[in-house]
Chains A and B, each alone.
Chain A
């Protein structure tokens, strides 16, 4: 540590020592500051995360177990659950393929416009989901770009499952790619080249070498992608048309049940919401597990010798002799 911080004096913005991040400074803080920070963080988490989550389950079970199950098995709710599963089952694999292809291209090749592609991948994160929905309406809607052609061929994209899938695919497209790019960049392409020299085809190389080396990152991305695909509200809301029993996904159904004023439907809304909350908890648990596994694999990879300090003997053996004055 080149600049030891004086622990007795709180480090304020003005006196912060150069070349030192806030997070690092925090680790050397006085005990009471540390306790305070931890308390604040825990209080925040409890108030804004844990309490609402528990409340969802409490509200869902207000009418007892029987009512809870009955409200989930209600036909329109079942249709919503089915639609959500179908949409996730289509969009997650699609984004898996897209994510792998995009990450591969970005991590292993040099090409013009790479920065642009990398930025474009993040676009769905930057755009409000409602805008995404509106964009789809502009393209596939009756007065939209492709509207007349679709009508001619009797194809229904909007207010139908394809529209919902499109919206979901767009919204969730960054997850897999974003997880894979750093993993693939860290792995490099030498293992793939080795496989090629051993006679493996491109496909075999991908299947036996590339995929296993990114499997945890891929799963991590898939899980996040899936959670978002099932939970997406904004974009789906714009393109779904809210046809009960047909184009309502779980989040849309939750909202609809919640909007209708009866106490029973409100409880049913919480029952369905509790399913989404469970999905979130499961996602978090899996995410933590995968993070740990990925970390372990990475640590192992780091044990491989990274550099070498072999003498550049060519230069070392040249002796230009000079006369000292």
Chain B
């Protein structure tokens, strides 16, 4: 294990920023710490670095307990959100700083710095000062500086937060490439689920100081452990229904709710993928108008408006859309193939219910 946390907590006075968190990161993994702002993920990163001390629990880096080891001797590379480049030093000296401190020999030091300049596409910028660089270049200098003395772990705090959208995309792809080349254990903090999904091998999801779920991007998307994760990762349609005579209803939609008390509220959630759309009015029981189609590259997002005003999102590929002959303003029919019952933010989700058209009609007939 490259990094391991065992029941780590951190309190600032009365406030518990991190509450009994345990996880481990394998050697060479690229892992995202994902969660909304204020979720405690940056605090976790800073504790691993040694910039904050845990109130409780144990921290291990490469099997060695590091709680009592000062930040200087943890051999980590840290990239700060706003880079924190030394503004009074040139790019060369910024990258060389850690090597000078560790008393590298001059020729080795020069070679290493130039190697990094090449690796990060910063050739020829070694004499520049931070204020003469673009946002993306500063970011790469910060990464080069963190990598210089070959740390056992690289920690990045919101690495792409401070650059604009286009550069952010480039940097993401570039981080993946860099990680593949160097294969150094990397942990980065982000509040952007898309970024986490795209870049990382595994995602660790935080909310309010608690670890909610650890898993591959696919696992957290397809098997979210609770409503928070389900809503945070990807798009989730959420319906609030009223139960009456064993049936939960909202607008025209009905779901079975035999075991629910009369008059109670039932919340269900489903991914846009679970919404099957057809241009034939008779294909499925529910009707809607295709209000708008959003082009997201290969995937399209469809916004369906039900007669009652309910809006439901669906998703499909461009090919599927073309084959079905869909267009904005068209009357369509649809069905929700799979859904889960939501029990509250941090409660486990129900298993997935299949709602075939048969269920729907049986259901309608039964009332």
Q: Pick the residue among A201, A208, A319 that contacts B236 (CB under 8 A).
A: A319
For the complex formed, measure the closest distance between the CB of A319 and the CB atoms of chain B, giving whole angstroms: 6
Check A204 against B251 for contact (C-beta < 8 Å). Answer: no
Segment touching A, from B18-26, B74-82, B173-181: B74-82
Count chain B residues whose beta carbon lies closer than 8 angstroms to a beta carbon of A: 59
Check A319 against B235 for contact (C-beta < 8 Å). Answer: yes
- Starting from the known contacts A191-B87, A321-B240, 13 additional A-B residue pairs (CB-CB under 8 Å) come to A193-B80, A193-B84, A194-B78, A197-B76, A198-B148, A199-B73, A212-B88, A213-B87, A297-B87, A300-B131, A304-B131, A310-B168, A314-B35
8 nearest CB pairs, A to B: A324-B309, A198-B98, A190-B84, A300-B131, A197-B78, A212-B88, A194-B84, A305-B162
Task: Check A321/B239 contact, CB under 8 A, given A198-B101, A198-B145.
Answer: yes
**Does B37 count as interface, using CB distance less than 8 angstroms?**
yes
Q: Which residues of chain A come closer than 8 Å to B78, judged between CB atoms?
A: 193-194, 197
Chain B, residues 33-67, CB within 8 Å of chain A (1/0): the string is 00111000000000001110000000000000000
Check B231 against A213 for contact (C-beta < 8 Å). Answer: no
**Does A308 count as interface, using CB distance less than 8 angstroms?**
yes
Q: Which residues of chain A come closer than 8 Å to B86, judged between CB atoms?
A: 191, 194-195, 208-209, 212
Check A324 against B51 for contact (C-beta < 8 Å). Answer: no
Chain A, residues 291-325, CB within 8 Å of chain B (1/0): the string is 00000010011011111101111110111111110
**Does B130 count as interface, using CB distance less than 8 angstroms?**
yes
Closest B residue to A325 using CB positions: B309
CA distance A77 to B136 in the complex (A): 62
Check B98 against A320 for contact (C-beta < 8 Å). Answer: no
Q: Which residues of chain A come closer than 8 Å to B232, judged between CB atoms?
A: 314, 317
Most buried by A among B49, B101, B232, B311: B101
**Does B200 count as interface, using CB distance less than 8 angstroms?**
no
For the complex formed, measure the closest distance between the CB of B147 and the CB atoms of chain A, giving whole angstroms: 11
Q: Pick the residue among B36, B88, B130, B312 that contacts A312 (CB under 8 A).
A: B36
CA distance A315 to B236 in the complex (A): 11
**Does B263 count as interface, using CB distance less than 8 angstroms?**
no
For the complex formed, measure the closest distance between the CB of B129 and the CB atoms of chain A, giving whole angstroms: 8
Check A194 against B161 for contact (C-beta < 8 Å). Answer: no
Q: Which residues of chain B come closer than 8 Å to A209, judged between CB atoms?
A: 86, 88
Q: Pick the residue among B50, B77, B82, B310 that contacts A190 (CB under 8 A).
A: B82
CA distance A308 to B81 in the complex (A): 10
B window 135-154: CB within 8 A of A? 135, 138, 145-146, 148-149
Check A213 against B80 for contact (C-beta < 8 Å). Answer: no
Q: Which residues of chain B come closer than 8 Å to A94, judged between CB atoms?
A: none
Task: Check A317/B234 contact, CB under 8 A, given A195-B86, A199-B149.
Answer: yes
CA distance A213 to B87 in the complex (A): 8
**Does A45 count as interface, using CB distance less than 8 angstroms?**
no
Q: Which residues of chain A come closer than 8 Å to B37, judged between CB atoms?
A: 312
Q: Pick the residue among A197, A310, A312, A315 that contacts B77 (CB under 8 A).
A: A197
Q: Which residues of chain A come closer than 8 Å to B72, judged between CB atoms?
A: 196-197, 199-201
Check B236 against A200 for contact (C-beta < 8 Å). Answer: no
For the complex formed, measure the closest distance between the CB of A309 and the CB atoms of chain B, giving whole angstroms: 9
Check A324 against B237 for contact (C-beta < 8 Å). Answer: no
For the complex formed, measure the closest distance between the CB of B155 and the CB atoms of chain A, giving whole angstroms: 8
Check A310 against B161 for contact (C-beta < 8 Å). Answer: yes
**Does B326 count as interface, using CB distance less than 8 angstroms?**
no
Check B80 against A317 for contact (C-beta < 8 Å). Answer: no
Check B80 against A200 for contact (C-beta < 8 Å). Answer: no
Task: Check A319/B162 contact, CB under 8 A, given A199-B98, A200-B97, A301-B131.
Answer: no
Closest A residue to B46 using CB positions: A193
Check B192 against A310 for contact (C-beta < 8 Å). Answer: yes
Q: Which residues of chain B come closer than 8 Å to A320, judged between CB atoms?
A: 238, 240
Check A300 against B87 for contact (C-beta < 8 Å). Answer: yes
CA distance A313 to B35 in the complex (A): 10
CA distance A312 to B235 in the complex (A): 13
Q: Which residues of chain A come closer than 8 Å to B77, judged between CB atoms?
A: 197
CA distance A308 to B158 in the complex (A): 11
